[in-house]
């Protein structure tokens, strides 16, 4: 620990040096501007890793379904809950002539709903919720067609802590739990299922997917960029940020913050609406009692814990707040320099209008500050693409950025060398 | 000054459908609500039925302004008939992202 | 139990000697295959680029963008009334010759000569270079050697065709038996023309596939009929009256468009009032006896014949004596431009004009449903999630067309290989 540090660092003196594989040199961001690298990522990462496509809340009952267009994996998937309650995933393509199977009025848009079966709009072929082909129109016109061989192409699908993941590899190298590893896996009992009131946002951003993820995996930017998260009486131009705890596990990583327990701050340090609505960027002040063990959080055991920011490779982020709510972000590349950003905020259900407003305020607050993060993206992407510089210095508070880009690079290298996944396993 | 021949007076409120190109008529259809489309359709169809002989007598060469307006308005009825009779919505179902644009059309 | 007869072999597919195995759509998702198609198909076959009515007098011209053949064409009627075709390119420094504000957009019009916007070189209607700005600045420039690069052009039944094949078979031979069967159809009487154009995010062959089978019609276009009619159609399913194949070309003959329909309540009100619909005005003009090739099954229920003249020209003859054409012009391995023109005998009055309007608009409403699925189909084929696709007997034309494309490409590959190896002369009679 250095003089002036708020929180203890590992014995090596810095978080970064605690993980010697990371190095401390400036890093290249070529991986964020290269169309060729993006193509490698598509095969090495998006068609290999476990990808979070939704939650069990998206499939409330038997017959529920939703589609997810995963441009980065060059496919679209259908996710269903069948009559026995089992969750399945399939490639969203009819076995007849390759028509996209499930869509509403615009085939290039996602859809969701309830169905007893899926009917291809083109020639009326039908499939059950378990993917079985149940009807071929004018079957006699076909040649030795065996419907039992014409089921939808399956996609590996597993549910963890209520999060639905798919893996597009024909033979996933790891089960979902093996992939998530012990650090993330420890969250499995966290009461996500108690938080069912949802606010969702979506954005189309003009930057590489990783550039936006980087914005969320360091808080070094918070004092300068999000100055206005602090009320007018509270702003200090020299404010700095230190993470209380950083931890890496395989390709995944976490940072924990402390001290931002706004429900305990003096009112004059905040905006009037925060005080009146009893809410803000840390969530509604009046957390519901969960009467459950909050497992998996605060892996560093820091005091006055505020937020855990879990970055789950490749493109999922789960933020768990001290006030008993959480959010998840997903970043879906659509090209080497564009991506779709999805955000879901989950709260325990409001019981009164007042509670509902507190949640609304928290959700809108997240959006307002996310817009500040988004706002920089176009400029960052253009700047990187100028290739005026070859590398960029990262400080110790940006360890997660360093680790993320290294993990991406390692997966791409391994894929290109045809290695198995042992080198990628969590420690 | 009436837009249409006298026996089509009931169409006067819908004179803004008398548009010169298919692209204009189609765009107006897509921008209309179902109640608006139905109202126009309900006013125009009975006239199409009762004045069929009149239409057969309208030569295209040297067509008068009033008859040309009428023709355009009934061409609009043709495109509007689809949402009312088949689709129950202004857009062709399952047509989301597609567009097919007229590049040549006869005059009149 | 099929409703209409099938050939002695039991199925149309086996009758034509085609395999009954599932097909791969690898030919529709590959940039490499498209590059081969450009050489093997679009530079070898006869391509229909227009009709003679587009060139009404000497000096009439139109341009055509042919990404598929990697060029732009200029088609002209000269002072003798002959139709000429040239590469739309100035012989000086390769500037595009005929265009208006946007060089990539096609134009049409009338001109006494063509003047290059760049340095003012001029060409007459025979492609001769007639004027070179500051000719003295050049070195022994013989204007006769720098006329517009000509392209072989010919006309069949009023349809203008070009070919880039240096040694093509005569156009009439290329059109084969089915072309011969259509000779004498009064295309020239049907001068009332409507054209639509669309940019489609799919391989050119996928949209052709959509139009070569009506198996999809009762399902995809179900809302186009009244509920009861629609239900009946789906129950029966679809069967063609007849299929035919001749070399690379194919056709399907179908029932439909009974006019007037047996039960007037089976059609939509607008169709009842205008006495028209998808199949056209119920009362078409009298054009005399139809040529032998139309309605090959000679069925009383005949409604439409659809001919595919390989590679990308479809000609549809409708019972009420009108016709339409479809063209599919690839612009990349997964995009193309679709154009359709609908041709009628000129309407004599406003009622006939409206009847034709309904037929034309109906086509578009149907066409949008077909077109809309294509971009997503292209994406899903490119995902590689599924790699073989079963086709039924009513999809025999699809099977045939993809086979022909593959055959042309294979032939081109072996001939180019043989040329490179110095073991064979370049192909003759490539079409």
pLDDT, average across residues B6-20: 96
Residue of B24, B78, B97, B103 to mutate, interface with C, max C Cβ within 10 Å: B78
> Does the pLDDT at position C225 exceed 70?
no
Of residues B57, B86, B95, nearest to C224 (C-beta):
B86
The candidate with the shortest Cα–Cα distance to C88, out of C110, C66, C68, is C66
A109 shares contact with chain B (CB less than 8 Å):
yes
pLDDT digits (tens, 9 = 90+) for C191-201: 999 999 999 99
C375 shares contact with chain A (CB less than 8 Å):
yes
The candidate with the shortest Cα–Cα distance to A334, out of A98, A35, A67, A47, is A35
Q: Which residue of C has its CA nearest to B68?
A: C350
With CB atoms and an 8 Å threshold, state whether A137 touches C237. yes
The candidate with the shortest Cα–Cα distance to B17, out of B5, B39, B6, B7, is B39
pLDDT digits (tens, 9 = 90+) for A321-371: 999 999 999 999 999 999 999 999 999 998 878 888 888 888 888 887 887
pLDDT digits (tens, 9 = 90+) for B16-64: 999 999 889 999 999 999 999 999 999 999 998 899 889 888 988 889 9
Q: Which residues of A touch C389 (CB under 8 A)?
A: 95-98
Q: How confident is the model at residue C428 (pLDDT cuts 50, 70, 90)?
A: very low
pLDDT, average across residues B69-90: 89
For residue C45, the number of C-alpha atoms closer than 13 Å in the C-beta half-sphere is 25
End-to-end CA distance of chain C: 39
Q: Which residues of B touch C352 (CB under 8 A)?
A: 56
> Does the pLDDT at position C113 exceed 80?
yes
With CB atoms and an 8 Å threshold, state whether C198 touches B99. yes
Report which of residues C263 and C160 the model is more confident about: C160
3-state secondary structure chain C: CCCCCCCCCCCHHHHCCCCCCCECCHHHCCHHHHHHHHHHHHCCCEEEEEEHHHCCCCCEEEEEEEHHHCEEEEEEECCCCCEEEEECECCCCCCECCCCCCCCCCCEEECCCEECCCCCCEECCCCCEEECCCHHHCCCCCHHHHCCCEEEEEEECCEEEEECCCCCCCHHHHHHHHHHHHCCCCHHHCCEEEEEEEEECCCHHHHHHHHCCCCCHHHHCHHHCCHHHHHHHHHHCCCCCEEEEECCEEEEEEECCCCCCCCHHHCCHHHHHHCCCCCCCCCCCCCCCCCCCCCCCCCCCEEEEEEEECCCEEEEEECCCEEEEEEEEEEECCEEEEEEEEEECCCCCHHHHHHHHHHHHHHHHHHHHHHHHHHHHHHHHHCCCCCCECCCHHHHHHHHHHHHHHHHHHHHHHHHHHHHCCCCCCCCCCC
How far away is chain A from the Cα of C283, in angstroms, using its nearest Cα? 31
pTM here? 0.84
pLDDT digits (tens, 9 = 90+) for C21-69: 999 999 999 999 999 999 999 999 999 999 999 999 999 999 999 999 9
With CB atoms and an 8 Å threshold, state whether A153 touches C377. no
pLDDT digits (tens, 9 = 90+) for C276-290: 998 899 989 999 999
Of residues A73, A76, A141, nearest to C392 (C-beta):
A141
Q: Spell out the per-residue pLDDT of chain A, length 427, in tens.
A: 566 788 889 999 999 999 999 999 999 999 999 999 999 999 999 999 999 999 999 999 999 999 999 999 999 999 999 999 999 999 999 999 999 999 998 898 999 999 999 999 999 999 999 999 999 999 999 999 999 999 999 999 999 999 999 999 999 999 999 999 999 999 999 999 999 999 888 889 999 999 999 999 988 877 777 776 776 666 776 777 888 999 999 999 999 998 678 888 888 888 878 888 888 889 999 999 898 999 999 999 998 899 999 999 999 999 999 999 999 999 999 999 999 999 999 999 988 788 888 888 888 888 878 877 787 888 899 999 999 889 999 999 999 999 999 999 999 999 999 855 454 444 3
Which pLDDT does position A425 carry in this prediction?
45
Which pLDDT does position A316 carry in this prediction?
98
How far away is chain A from the Cα of C386, in angstroms, using its nearest Cα? 7
Which pLDDT does position A426 carry in this prediction?
47
> Does the pLDDT at position C238 exceed 90?
no
Prediction ipTM score: 0.80
Which pLDDT does position A251 carry in this prediction?
97
Of residues A103, A105, A109, nearest to B91 (C-beta):
A105
Which pLDDT does position C99 carry in this prediction?
92
With CB atoms and an 8 Å threshold, state whether C389 touches A103. no
Q: How confident is the model at residue C316 (pLDDT cuts 50, 70, 90)?
A: very high
H or E element that contains A331: strand A325-335
Which pLDDT does position C425 carry in this prediction?
46
With CB atoms and an 8 Å threshold, state whether C350 touches B60. yes
Cβ neighbours of residue A88 closer than 8 Å, sequence gap 6 or more: A79, A80, A81, A82, A129, A130, A131, A154, A157
Which pLDDT does position C264 carry in this prediction?
83
pLDDT, average across residues B56-80: 90
State the count of interchain CB pairs (< 8 A) between A and C: 105
pLDDT, average across residues C247-254: 96
Which pLDDT does position C265 carry in this prediction?
80
> Which residues of A lie closer than 8 Å to C, measured between beta carbons?
73-76, 91-93, 95-100, 103, 106-108, 121-124, 137-138, 140-145, 150, 153
Report which of residues A163 and C135 the model is more confident about: A163
Which pLDDT does position A367 carry in this prediction?
81
> Does the pLDDT at position C19 exceed 80?
yes
> Encoding tokens for residue A378?
């176009």
Q: How confident is the model at residue C368 (pLDDT cuts 50, 70, 90)?
A: confident
β-pairing verdict for A112-114 and A87-91: unpaired
The C-alpha atoms of residue B25 and residue B38 are separated, in whole angstroms, by 15
pLDDT, average across residues C131-146: 91
For all residues of chain C together, what is the average pLDDT?
A: 91
How far away is chain A from the Cα of C292, in angstroms, using its nearest Cα? 29
Which pLDDT does position C431 carry in this prediction?
38
């Amino acid at each position: 620990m250095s003089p002036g540090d708020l929180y203890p660092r590992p014995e090596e003196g810095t978080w970064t040096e605690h993980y010697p594989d990371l190095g401390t040199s400036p890093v290249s961001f070529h991986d964020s501007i290269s169309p060729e690298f993006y193509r490698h990522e598509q095969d090495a990462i998006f068609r290999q890793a476990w990808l979070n496509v939704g939650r069990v809340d998206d499939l409330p009952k038997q017959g529920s379904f939703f589609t997810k267009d995963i441009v980065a994996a060059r496919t679209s998937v259908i996710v269903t809950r069948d009559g026995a309650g089992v969750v399945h995933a399939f490639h969203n393509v009819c076995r007849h002539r390759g028509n996209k199977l499930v869509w509403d009025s615009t085939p290039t848009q996602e859809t969701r709903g309830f169905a007893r079966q899926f009917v291809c709009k083109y020639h009326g072929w039908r499939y059950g919720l378990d993917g079985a082909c149940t009807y071929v129109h004018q079957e006699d016109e076909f040649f030795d067609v065996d419907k039992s061989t014409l089921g939808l192409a399956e996609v590996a699908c597993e549910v963890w802590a209520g999060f639905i993941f798919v893996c597009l590899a024909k033979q996933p190298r790891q089960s979902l739990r093996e992939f998530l590893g012990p650090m993330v896996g420890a969250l499995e009992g966290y009461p996500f299922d108690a938080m069912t009131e949802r606010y969702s946002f979506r954005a189309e951003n003009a930057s590489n997917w990783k550039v936006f993820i980087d914005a969320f995996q360091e808080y070094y930017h918070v004092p300068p960029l999000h100055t206005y998260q602090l009320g007018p009486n509270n702003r200090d131009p020299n404010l700095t940020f230190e993470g209380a705890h950083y931890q890496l596990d395989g390709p995944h990583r976490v940072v924990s913050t402390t001290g931002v327990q706004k429900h305990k701050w003096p009112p004059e340090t905040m905006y009037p609406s925060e005080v009146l609505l009893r809410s803000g960027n840390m969530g509604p002040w009046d957390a519901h009692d969960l009467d459950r063990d909050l497992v998996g959080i605060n892996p560093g055991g820091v005091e006055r814990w505020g937020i855990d920011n879990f970055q789950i490779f490749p493109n999922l982020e789960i933020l768990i707040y001290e006030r008993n709510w959480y959010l998840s972000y997903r970043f879906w590349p659509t090209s080497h320099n564009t991506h779709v950003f999805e955000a879901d905020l989950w709260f325990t259900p409001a019981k009164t209008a007042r509670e509902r407003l507190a949640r609304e305020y928290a959700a809108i607050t997240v959006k307002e500050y996310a817009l500040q993060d988004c706002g920089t993206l176009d400029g960052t992407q253009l700047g990187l693409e100028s290739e005026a510089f070859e590398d960029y210095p990262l400080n110790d508070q940006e360890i997660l950025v360093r680790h993320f880009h290294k993990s991406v690079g390692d997966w791409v290298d391994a894929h290109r060398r045809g290695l198995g996944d042992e080198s990628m396993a969590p420690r | 000054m009436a837009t249409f021949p006298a026996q089509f007076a009931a169409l006067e409120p819908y004179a803004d459908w008398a548009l010169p190109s298919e692209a204009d008529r189609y765009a107006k259809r897509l921008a209309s609500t179902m109640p608006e489309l139905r109202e126009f359709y309900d006013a125009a169809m009975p006239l199409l039925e009762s004045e069929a002989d009149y239409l057969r007598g309208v030569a295209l060469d040297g067509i008068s302004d009033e008859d040309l307006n009428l023709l355009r308005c009934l061409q609009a009825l043709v495109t509007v008939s689809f949402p009312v009779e088949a689709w129950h919505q202004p857009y062709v179902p399952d047509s989301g992202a597609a567009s097919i644009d007229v590049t040549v059309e006869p005059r009149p | 139990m099929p409703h209409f007869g099938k050939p002695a072999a039991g199925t149309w597919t086996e009758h034509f000697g085609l395999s009954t195995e599932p097909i791969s759509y690898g030919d529709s998702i590959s940039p490499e295959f498209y590059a081969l198609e450009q050489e093997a198909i679009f530079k070898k076959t006869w391509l229909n680029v227009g009709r003679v009515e587009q060139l009404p007098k000497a000096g009439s011209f139109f341009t055509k963008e042919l990404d598929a053949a990697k060029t732009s064409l200029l088609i002209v009627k000269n002072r003798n009334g002959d139709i000429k075709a040239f590469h739309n390119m100035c012989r000086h420094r390769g500037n595009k010759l005929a265009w208006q504000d946007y060089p990539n957009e096609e134009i049409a019009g009338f001109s006494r000569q063509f003047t290059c916007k760049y340095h003012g070189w001029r060409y007459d209607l025979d492609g001769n270079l007639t004027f070179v700005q500051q000719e003295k600045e050049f070195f022994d420039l013989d204007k006769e050697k720098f006329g517009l690069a000509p392209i072989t052009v010919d006309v069949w039944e009023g349809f203008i065709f070009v070919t880039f094949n240096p040694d093509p078979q005569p156009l009439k031979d290329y059109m084969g038996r089915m072309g011969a069967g259509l000779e004498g159809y009064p295309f020239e009487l049907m001068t009332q023309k409507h054209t639509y154009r669309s940019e489609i995010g799919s391989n050119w062959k996928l949209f052709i596939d959509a139009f070569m089978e009506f198996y999809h019609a009762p399902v995809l276009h179900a809302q186009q009929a009244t509920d009861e009619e629609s239900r009946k159609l789906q129950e029966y399913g679809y069967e063609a009256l007849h299929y035919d194949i001749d070399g690379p070309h194919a056709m399907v003959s179908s029932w439909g468009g009974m006019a007037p329909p047996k039960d007037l309540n089976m059609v939509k009100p607008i169709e009842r009032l205008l006495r028209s619909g998808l199949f056209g005005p119920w009362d078409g003009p009298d054009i005399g006896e139809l040529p032998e090739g139309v309605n090959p099954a000679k069925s009383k229920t005949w409604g439409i014949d659809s001919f595919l003249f390989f590679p990308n020209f479809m000609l549809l003859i409708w019972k009420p004596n009108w016709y339409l054409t479809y063209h599919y012009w690839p612009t990349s391995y997964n995009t193309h431009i679709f154009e359709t023109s609908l041709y009628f005998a000129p309407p004599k009055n406003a009622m006939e004009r409206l009847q034709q309007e309904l037929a034309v608009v109906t086509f578009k409403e149907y066409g949008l449903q077909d077109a809309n699925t294509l971009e997503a189909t292209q994406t899903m084929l490119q995902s590689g999630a599924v790699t073989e696709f079963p086709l039924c007997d009513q999809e025999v034309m699809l099977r045939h067309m993809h086979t022909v494309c593959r055959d042309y490409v294979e032939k081109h590959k072996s001939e180019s290989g043989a040329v490179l190896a110095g073991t064979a002369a370049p192909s003759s009679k490539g079409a």
